[in-house]
Structure 1
């Protein structure tokens, strides 16, 4: 096993890096990409400096250890980017505070309201149909309303 490490050369690291990046294409998860990038960096440095095999493995370990937290930080900031529609995929939350007319009366705490092309279940105090109600809370597909 030691002999395999002793014979590590520049091309070995470059090939290893390309293989890891190719595996990333087959099983995407962005983790193997960073390992491949670290191997490519070791290979490029080995072209210039010609370090010992121990130094090459140490460089690979350092690059991988630095790349993974760096990727996590980059991924987190990419998700936090603002969007022009903050309620995307959270439609019910966008309804909170809006006023609608009851389609069916609220009887025993349950009724319905038509919002655009959708009929929503609403919960609240008993109220006759045609009454204007304000959405005060959204839980899943259920809205809680109060008199407007």
Structure 2
């Protein structure tokens, strides 16, 4: 085995890179992609310089693996932009500031409003059903309301 490692060729590195990229296709979540790219790069370097010592090839593989992963991580972080729809997937946020009639009276600090096609649990001061309220906040699935 040690004799094999001492005589690595560019085909070995390209095979390793191909294997890692194939494994990436099966759902590694991006972890093996950059290691596979690094192995392919070492294979290309070994093709150009076949006399490169196996220890230098291994160190080069490790350094390139780290560099490619860090490069991609930084590129992803710098290209992330804030959403044009910041309330997307935050149900209830679109109701803040809007007015609704109470569907069920607020007793003991809890009641319900009908908003769109849903009935929402609300918290606020005790009020009879039909009273107009304004949504002023949200705590999970509970909307906070105040009387108008």
The question of a shared fold, defined as TM-score above 0.5 by the shorter chain, is answered with: yes
The aligned residue for residue 55 of structure 1 is: 56
The aligned residue for residue 132 of structure 1 is: 132
Deviations 1:16-63 (A, max 9, x none): 000001011123311011110100011111112232212211110111
Cα distance in structure 2, aligned partners of 1:17 and 1:66: 16
Is 1:74 the counterpart of 2:75? The answer is: yes
Cα distance in structure 1, aligned partners of 2:115 and 2:75: 39
Unaligned runs of 5+ in 1: none
Normalised by the length of structure 1, the TM-score is 0.89
Cα distance in structure 2, aligned partners of 1:98 and 1:16: 59
Bigger mean CA deviation after superposition, 122-131 or 89-98: 89-98
CA pair 77-93 structure 1, distance change in 2 beyond 3 A = farther
Is 1:38 the counterpart of 2:38? The answer is: yes
Cα distance in structure 1, aligned partners of 2:5 and 2:129: 79
Unaligned runs of 5+ in 2: none
Normalised by the length of structure 2, the TM-score is 0.89
**1:77 Cα shift?**
4.2
Q: Is the 8 A contact 1:92 1:139 kept in 2?
A: no
